Copies of this chain bind each other. A is one copy, B any other.
Amino acid sequence: MSEPRWLTEPEDRAWRGYRRMRALLDLQFTRDLARDSGLSEADYDVLSTLSETEGHRQQLNDLAAQILWSKSRLSHHITRMENRGLVAREDAPADRRGCFVVLTDAGLRAIVEAAPPHVESVRRHFIDLLTDDQIDTLAAIAQTVVTNLTEPDRPTP
């Protein structure tokens, strides 16, 4: 293989910009979330996902797949959240290996209180800064990239 195709100047701007935006947004959301709700982004992901499921419960494996975590990571994190009273584990009815993660009352209260300031934060630092066109383009970009990474790799013929 010869000289690689380095990034062109516009590509480089996009790539570096993306990484810088990513890092700064992450810092900001982490800070805001901790200050406003005492939750981490990880906590928020778990709680908000559970709050959107019917019965406020989901099997550990499914939950992990949905939020793109390893089972191990989720298991550890659920243990910690369980100790804080935000979620609970329940036996799975159909499969005795499985286990459901359930939102507790405290967990539901936590996410209900955390959501509004978090959305405000997302708007202030990100969404409200963009035009409608930019919003749509961002969604399209994400759609493309996610699809490409999610589809099973085809062998190059």
Residue of A133, A134, A145 with most partner-chain B CB within 10 A: A145
Of the candidates B68, B133, B135, B141, the one whose C-beta lies within 8 Å of that of A23 is B68
- Which residues of B lie under 8 Å from residue A133 when comparing CB positions? 137
Q: Could you tell me the distance between the alpha carbons of A142 and B10 in the complex, rounded to whole angstroms?
A: 13
- Which residues of B lie under 8 Å from residue A3 when comparing CB positions? 116
- Which residues of B lie under 8 Å from residue A117 when comparing CB positions? 4
- Which residues of B lie under 8 Å from residue A140 when comparing CB positions? 134
Q: With an 8 A cutoff between CB atoms, is A120 at the interface?
A: yes
- Which residues of B lie under 8 Å from residue A129 when comparing CB positions? 144-145, 148
On whether A141 and B134 interact (CB within 8 A), knowing A4-B119, A5-B119, A122-B15, the answer reads yes
Q: With an 8 A cutoff between CB atoms, is A146 at the interface?
A: yes
Q: Is the CB of B149 within 8 A of A25?
A: yes
Nearest 4 pairs between A and B by C-beta? A17-B142, A4-B116, A21-B142, A14-B139
Residue in chain B with minimal CB distance to A70: B27
7 contacts between A and B (CB under 8 A): A4-B119, A14-B127, A14-B138, A24-B150, A137-B137, A137-B138, A138-B138
- Which residues of B lie under 8 Å from residue A142 when comparing CB positions? 14, 17-18, 20-21
Of the candidates B4, B5, B13, B139, the one whose C-beta lies within 8 Å of that of A13 is B139
